[in-house]
Structure 1
Amino acid sequence: MKDIKLDPEEESLYECFSCGTVVRAPTSGTCPDCGADMRNRQMPIE
């Protein structure tokens, strides 16, 4: 697997854990549709 260098100034794709909504944002937060937590899609789920 290839490591991806993350730039903190760059917007990333975030996906909602609950409803699956995907948004582009500079930081994670809450889902605009359902209010659940978001995850950075560039980070692996373990």
Structure 2
Amino acid sequence: MDAGAYRYVRFNHRVLRAFWIAGYTAWEGYRLIAESTPLETLQQIALPA
């Protein structure tokens, strides 16, 4: 049974799937950057003076 204004909104599975994929990608990208080694440290390891 539909109730309220929700009966006027059509549910789109493709949009929901795209939203979840984009959200997951953004979350994993943020996590990767937050947990990565700082660039200065990587440069010191790769190019010792």
Q: Using structure 2 for the length normalisation, give the TM-score.
A: 0.18
Q: Using structure 1 for the length normalisation, give the TM-score.
A: 0.18
Decide which structure has greater strand share.
Answer: 1
Higher relative contact order (CA 8 A, sep 6+): 1
Task: Flag the structure with larger Rg.
Answer: 2
